[in-house]
Amino acid sequence: NAGVTQTPKFRVLKTGQSMTLLCAQDMNHEYMYWYRQDPGMGLRLIHYSVGEGTTAKGEVPDGYNVSRLKKQNFLLGLESAAPSQTSVYFCAGGMTSGRYTGELFFGEGSRLTVL
Amino acid sequence: DQQVKQNSPSLSVQEGRISILNCDYTNSMFDYFLWYKKYPAEGPTFLISISSIKDKNEDGRFTVFLNKSAKHLSLHIVPSQPGDSAVYFCAASPYNTDKLIFGTGTRLQVFP
């Protein structure tokens, strides 16, 4: 049982390049989230999904796109990377049944550096 | 505008003593409050939560207190152990949403 898995774990990009972060979960979570963590800023929500085929904006969505074509996968895309997107990105899943209570299961993180 | 605030970036406590981590919030419309723990190079892990209709929840060494009138949340760890050394994030979920808003975190160090 792998839980929530993020790939890649590390990536270095040049300004203007594009890339996709993949999050895969085998916990049957309905909801999936992408957060970024920056020093002194805590965890900030980028985009999230409450079910297959749905996506919604979080607190800091600009410069990112997401897709949830399959329930178990949630992709985060950067179309034209900027140095301000240097961060550690965390994917999380939650909500298998009943009422949403905020309990999320996180992946190990993906460290992205944009030069 | 930071809706969930952790004003102490760090806290140092001796092993065996009580650790008290604090969190303040500005929005009255939060449904659930949670604490997450994070070790370096790992993702955050859920620790304990409390519903807005309660004022205390206990789980082993961990107790969360909610003071709605003061818009204040605290996590008590008794007794503190070296393995508790980590960054602790306070988080809150607004009513009728599926989002979780995090604070900036407090780094706890428990020394022998």
Length of chain B: 112
Buried b (16+ CB within 10 A) or exposed e, A87-110: bbbbbbbbbeeeebbbbbbbbebb
Residues of chain B positioned with their CB less than 8 A from the CB of A109:
41-43
Using pLDDT thresholds of 50, 70 and 90, give the confidence band for residue B101. Answer: very high
Mean pLDDT across the stretch A86-91? 97
Using pLDDT thresholds of 50, 70 and 90, give the confidence band for residue A100. Answer: confident
Q: Give the number of beta-carbon pairs within 8 Å between A and B.
A: 61
Mean pLDDT across the stretch B58-68? 97
Partner-chain residue, chosen from A44, A50, A108, that has the shortest CB–CB distance to B98: A50
Q: What are phi and psi of A85, to 5 degrees?
A: -95, 5
Q: What is the pLDDT of residue A41?
A: 87
In chain A, % of residues over pLDDT 90? 84
What is the residue-averaged pLDDT of chain B? 94
pLDDT tens, position by position, A8-51? 999 999 999 999 999 999 999 999 999 999 988 889 999 999 99
Distance CA A24, CA B86 (A): 26
Nearest CA in chain B to A45: B101
In chain B, % of residues over pLDDT 70? 99
Nearest CA in chain A to B92: A102
Structure tokens at A28: 């049957």
Using pLDDT thresholds of 50, 70 and 90, give the confidence band for residue B1. Answer: low
Using pLDDT thresholds of 50, 70 and 90, give the confidence band for residue A113. Answer: very high
Q: Using beta carbons and an 8 Å cutoff, which residues of B are at the interface with A?
A: 6, 9, 31-32, 34, 41-46, 49, 51, 89, 91-93, 98-105
Residues of chain B positioned with their CB less than 8 A from the CB of A44:
102
Q: What is the pLDDT of residue A98?
A: 67
Distance from CA of A80 to the nearest CA of B (A): 26
Residue B111: is it exposed, middle or buried by C-beta count within 10 angstroms (0-12/13-18/19+)? exposed
Residues of chain B positioned with their CB less than 8 A from the CB of A50:
98
